[in-house]
């Protein structure tokens, strides 16, 4: 009985070892290609995120400059209105 159990265990180990072969060359080649594509896409996403960040910084700076110019124009209009009122009085 013990010999049968040992023989069965040894044969199952051999069968499982035969089934545990690694991926074939075509599969590993496809996997490498996909990994390279993922890496390239990750780099592109990172580059686009950096570009977007730079654009947002420029947009914020432009918006601040526009608001400052608008406030300055409002103050200038106020001064002009005051000067015009002083001449009509």
Of 83 and 72, the one with more pLDDT? 72
For residue 59, tell me if it sits in a domain.
yes
Domain count within the chain = 1
Q: Is 47 helix (H, G, I), strand (E, B) or coil?
A: helix
6 pLDDT tier (thresholds 50, 70, 90):
confident
Res. 16: pLDDT tops 70: no
Whether 61 is covered by a domain: the verdict is yes
| Average pLDDT over the chain, rounded to an integer | 85
Give residue 59's domain range.
48-89
Average pLDDT over every residue of 45-73? 96
Residue 28 buriedness (CB in 10 A; 0-12 / 13-18 / 19+): exposed
Q: What are 9's two structure tokens?
A: 């265990």
pLDDT at 81 over 90: no
The answer to whether residue 55 is domain-embedded is: yes
CB 47 within 8 A of CB 39: no
39 inside domain = no
CB 31, CB 23: distance < 8 Å: yes
Pick the more confident residue, 10 or 67: 67
* Structure confidence at residue 82 (pLDDT): 86
In whole angstroms, give the CA distance from residue 23 to residue 84.
88
Single pTM value for the model: 0.54
Based on its alpha-carbon atoms, the radius of gyration of the chain, rounded to whole angstroms, reads 38
């Amino acid at each position: 009985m013990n010999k049968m159990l040992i023989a069965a265990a040894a044969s199952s180990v051999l069968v499982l070892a035969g089934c545990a072969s690694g991926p074939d060359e075509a599969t590993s080649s496809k996997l490498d290609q996909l990994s390279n594509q993922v890496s390239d896409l990750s780099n592109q996403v990172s580059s686009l995120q950096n570009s977007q960040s730079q654009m947002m910084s420029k947009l914020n700076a432009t918006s601040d400059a526009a608001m400052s110019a608008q406030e300055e124009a409002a103050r200038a209009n106020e001064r002009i209105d005051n000067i015009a009122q002083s001449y009509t009085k």
